[in-house]
Amino acid sequence: MLENYYDVAKKNDFQKIFGHLKIGKNPTPYRNSYFILRWDFSCIDAGGNFEDIKQSLYNHINARAIRFINYYQRQGFDIPDIEIDENDALFTIELLLDAAQSKQIPVYLLIDEYDNFANTIMMSSADKKQEYEKIVNEEGILRTLFKAVKASTSQNMFDRVFITGVSPVVLSDITSGYNVAESIYFLPKFNDMCGFTEQEVKKEIENIVNKNNLPYEKINEALNIMKTYYNGYLFTTNQMSLFIILQCIFSNLKKFKYPNHVIKPFKDKNLFQSGE
């Protein structure tokens, strides 16, 4: 959503995407005014040794830099090509930001699942713990990368940075590398940003029951099962709990209209593990 809202290349699509929503009817001055650079650290291969992980991270950043240049050139922005350094993605970032600055359009950096590969390493076998320490310590590649992002932010090369992840643990371990981040994790106004409330799920179940002439008792039956499997996630105190695992909810709701469908735990352990 942030990418669509802030991307300068999608200015003509703003009304189509957001016009019927509250944010479309009350736009901020910054909508569609940025180049968007997006990293997704779930793409990083956490296998292998430190050098393998480092190279996988560099490969991802370089690939996203190439995608950035190609995308905005196709959208009609005369951004110059840059030289990709396979062995030093931090240098690639510098060249990319210089190229973007030539157009006098600020860059918004989005980092999705910033801690994905680091968490994978941290939670793996004991012999991989040293690899985790290597990537987050003073000279580690992850800390060094965030130091570079911090420096670019202070120099107005990255105008804004938005980071998502599972927890603030990894960010805490690299704090000196990126101590300018503001956590919104526990702010009450964001508690229901990424999930469905019980009433929202119940309303959708009622719609399916009515549309497909299912027995009315199916509503509470389905709702109670979903509450057992998917409910209970809170990001702040004094707020209602949420059905936060959206993929599980959607998967079951799509099948709910079929006869004899039984709602059950989602099998993807990355999304849900029984007993948690």
pLDDT in tens, 167-203: 777 777 776 667 777 777 777 777 777 777 788 888 8
**Tokens in use for 107?**
């860059």
- Model confidence at 275, pLDDT cuts 50, 70, 90, reads very low
Q: Contact 252/263 with Cβ under 8 angstroms?
A: yes
Nearest to 218 by CA among 266, 265, 264, 260: 260
Q: How far is CA 104 from CA 30, 77, 100, 107, in A?
A: 14, 11, 7, 9
Looking at every residue in the chain, the average pLDDT score rounds to 83
- Model pLDDT, residue 276: 38
- Rounded to the nearest 10°, the torsion over CA 146, 149, 151, 154 is -130
Number of CB atoms found within 10 A of residue 101's CB: 15
Name the helix (H) or strand (E) containing 168.
none
Amino acid at 21: L
Does the pLDDT at position 262 exceed 70?
no
Residues 6+ apart with CB under 8 A from 47: 53
- Model pLDDT, residue 36: 97
**Burial readout 137-157 (b: 16 or more C-beta within 10 A, e: otherwise):** eeebbbbbbbbbbbebbeeeb
**Tokens in use for 30?**
């910054």
Q: Looking at residues 135-160, what average pLDDT do you find?
A: 85
Say how far apart CA 8 and CA 34 lie, in whole Å.
Answer: 5
Q: Contact 122/71 with Cβ under 8 angstroms?
A: no
Helix residue spans in 38-80 (DSSP H): 50-74
SS3 assignment, position 227: helix
pTM here is 0.79
CA 271 to chain centre: 14
